[in-house]
Amino acid sequence: MRATVQTGTGRGNGVRAPPCAHGAALPLVCALLALAVLAPLLRPGFVLVHDMVFTPRQPLLPASFGLGSALPRAVPVDAVVGLASLVVPGEVVQRLALAGAVFGAALGAGRLVPTTSTGVRIAAATAYAWNPLVAERLFLGHWTLLLGCAALPWVAAAALRVRRQERGALAGLVLASLPALLSAPGGLLALGVALALAGRRAAPALLALAVALNAPWWVPSLLRADPALSDPAGVAAFAARAENWGGPVLSVLGLGGIWNADVVPVSRANPALPVLTVALVAAALAGLRVLARRWGRSPVAGLAALGATGVLLAVLAVLPGGADLLRWASAHVPGAGLLRDAQKWVAWWALPFALGFALAVETARERVRGRASAAVAAAGALLPIALLPDLAWGGFGRLEPVRPPADWTAVHAVLAHDPRPGDVAVLPLSAFRRFAWNDGRTQLDPAPRFLPRTTITDDSLRVGGVVVGGEDERAARVGALLREDGDLTAAGVGWVLVEHGTPGPLPRRTLARLERVFDGPWLTLYRVPGAVGAGPGGPAAAPVALSWAAAWAVICAALLWRGLPVGRFGLRPRPGTATKE
């Protein structure tokens, strides 16, 4: 017999606690899923693809905490990775992050689905951890977003406990949200799931907690001297795209549709996929009806509405009038750049999709008997893998560890020991690189996460034939000085680093008058002559420090509260009845 707790008396308001998962089958399968995806990382080195850059020891710089002049896009993750790499090597940090993203997503979804069947739990795990969203974001290097997605099932479980007003539920919700809080989109994804499932009564507390926990990135964003506006050209460049003849809407409903064609698995061009997507979506919606009978109508309706919101945001740029709305918001509303790569919000649909699909498998299994029942469960667990085989083995070679050349360590040593002040301008002027030592893969410039000084890189992007302007005014100014052979020291630049073997023009006239300090096959470091002026100041340190203190205070309080025998963060329990299944 398995005891569960039923609280609430109104129709559609009761939420039954999901049965606890026993045994090692589910964790073992989740570990095998992670191994199947990340097996190439068993070899030494760093996987450097698109936005994913790890280094042996990431420096802790003012920008890591939101005190730089650029938009704090990598706050707080740069600070967290920098602190972690003081304890363990960067290679280990990368592997723990990626393994945690895949394993945590699978295990969380498997534990969340309210069923006693291990096979159905495994179906939920594979549907949530082995899908186009995970594949495309992994190949694009968006590991922080994947950690945020991995946290969502755990946030959902904690939010349901908040809805049932269990002891220490809010503290548990804070701790479950921590992986998502590494990035701004992740924090917002977690907040959406929490609000959808915890109930209106808990909404004020959840909003207050979210404001404090996300303060390290939104406080410095608000304190910027220039508004955080985005180039409207990015709306079309980052719009969801069709991966097959079914069009972008069907691609998004199938958890795909990312804007970058280079990271789309070949299997997404399967001509049968649009038809299968319609069938899977229908099955998931049918499964959500089963979920409503077990959780109650209200939380499932909230989760379904959140999923629909995620799909709408993801396809808004390709809907009539949607692109115009987003272009206007990008040009006039600070922070609207969060909607630029809107396909990421489909993560809100991924969770109800996986849960509904698993319960649809359970319904189909119950309609047959004997060995056929086990076959149905096995087919449901294997179907996501069969539809996306090229996620295996790091996307069949997309994720290959490499060793950065020794030039990087040599330049790091020069900059660490030379007392000359000044920041480092990095050439060629491009945000991304294609090095031969990384097999020509597109990767983000590693300099900001390798060198012990503030670096200035061009943050404009070229997407197809469209150039999307950057948001860092200092980078634009330094770029103009380099092109015009201007005085770099006036902009606080004391050094220029040239990265060889990657596309892009170089300002030869400017480099000719600089002092060459290090010259290797891959990197050349120049010292800029003259007295270096002060660079542009970032946000005021005091409010930024207070934002970090507020976030840490909430986290420490949650850790402490979980150890206390009493207390419910001010939530009073409603009458409930104990039932047994």
The pLDDT of residue 16: 55
Contact 85, 93 (CB under 8 A): yes
Show the tokens assigned to 427. Answer: 């050439």
Is pLDDT at 396 greater than 80 in this prediction? yes
In 3D, which of 270, 266, 262 has the Cα closest to residue 246? 270
Show the tokens assigned to 485. Answer: 């052979």
At residue 468 the predicted structure's pLDDT band, cuts being 50, 70 and 90, is confident
Q: How far apart are CA 38 and CA 42, in angstroms?
A: 8
The pLDDT of residue 293: 97
Contact 309, 348 (CB under 8 A): yes
At 61, is the secondary structure helix, strand, or coil?
A: coil
Is pLDDT at 477 greater than 60 in this prediction? yes
Residue found under tokens 């420090």: 545
The pLDDT of residue 534: 79
Report the pLDDT averaged over residues 69-91: 94
CA distances (Å), origin 486, targets 224, 283, 423, 482: 26, 63, 16, 6
Q: How far apart are CA 118 and CA 313, in angstroms?
A: 34
Is pLDDT at 446 greater than 80 in this prediction? yes
Amino acid at 481: L
> 168-177, 227-236, 378-387 — which is least confidently predicted?
227-236
> 238-242, 360-364, 460-464, 493-497 — which is least confidently predicted?
460-464
Q: How many residues does the chain have?
A: 581
Report the pLDDT averaged over residues 484-512: 93
Q: How far apart are CA 487 and CA 366, in angstroms?
A: 75
The pLDDT of residue 554: 97
What percent helix, strand, coil does the chain show, rounded to 5? 60, 10, 30
| Cα angle value 36/40/41 (rounded, 5°) | 105
Beta bridge partners of 455: 424
CA distances (Å), origin 521, targets 6, 305, 449, 513: 67, 55, 20, 21
CB atoms within 10 A of CB 237: 20
The pLDDT of residue 581: 29
At residue 462 the predicted structure's pLDDT band, cuts being 50, 70 and 90, is confident
Is pLDDT at 568 greater than 70 in this prediction? no
The pLDDT of residue 331: 87
Q: How far apart are CA 4 and CA 166, in angstroms?
A: 13
At 358, is the secondary structure helix, strand, or coil?
A: helix
Report the pLDDT averaged over residues 324-351: 90
For 193-256, give the secondary structure using H, E and C: HHHHHHCHHHHHHHHHHHHHHCHHHHHHHHCCCCCCCCCCHHHHHCCCCCCCCCHHHHHHHCCC
CA 179, 87, 218, 547: dihedral to nearest 10 degrees? 110
The pLDDT of residue 562: 83
| pLDDT tens string 537-566 | 789 999 999 999 999 999 999 999 887 654
Amino acid at 459: D
CA distances (Å), origin 416, targets 304, 448, 450: 52, 14, 11
Alpha-helical (H) ranges within 418-540 are: 447-450, 473-484, 508-512
Is pLDDT at 45 greater than 80 in this prediction? yes
The pLDDT of residue 48: 98
In 3D, which of 163, 177, 184 has the Cα closest to residue 209? 177
The pLDDT of residue 564: 67
Domain ranges for the chain, please list them: 25-62+73-224+247-255+264-400+552-562, 406-527
Residue 402 makes CB contacts below 8 A (sequence gap 6+) with 45, 46, 47, 48, 437, 438, 439
Residue 171 makes CB contacts below 8 A (sequence gap 6+) with 557, 558, 559, 561, 562, 569
- 562: region left, alpha or beta (phi > 0 left; psi from -120 to 50 alpha): alpha
Residue 125 makes CB contacts below 8 A (sequence gap 6+) with 26, 29, 30, 33, 106, 107, 109, 110, 381
| pLDDT tens string 104-144 | 999 999 999 999 999 999 999 999 999 999 999 999 999 99
Is pLDDT at 18 greater than 90 in this prediction? no
- Let me know if 9 is exposed, middle or buried by CB neighbors in 10 A (0-12, 13-18, 19+): exposed
Residue found under tokens 């964790």: 27
Q: How far apart are CA 512 and CA 410, in angstroms?
A: 22
Contact 350, 131 (CB under 8 A): yes
The pLDDT of residue 67: 93
| Cα angle value 331/332/338 (rounded, 5°) | 70
Alpha-helical (H) ranges within 140-214 are: 143-163, 169-177, 184-198, 203-213
At 15, is the secondary structure helix, strand, or coil?
A: strand
In 3D, which of 344, 345, 355 has the Cα closest to residue 299? 355
> pTM of the prediction?
0.93
The pLDDT of residue 467: 79
Residue found under tokens 């085989």: 389
Report the pLDDT averaged over residues 199-226: 94
* Percentage of the chain modeled with pLDDT above 70: 93
Q: What is the mean pLDDT of the chain?
A: 91
At residue 6 the predicted structure's pLDDT band, cuts being 50, 70 and 90, is very low
Local structure of residue 12 (DSSP, 8 states): T
Report the pLDDT averaged over residues 16-25: 63
- 570: region left, alpha or beta (phi > 0 left; psi from -120 to 50 alpha): left
Report the pLDDT averaged over residues 364-368: 92
Report the pLDDT averaged over residues 37-43: 97
At residue 579 the predicted structure's pLDDT band, cuts being 50, 70 and 90, is very low
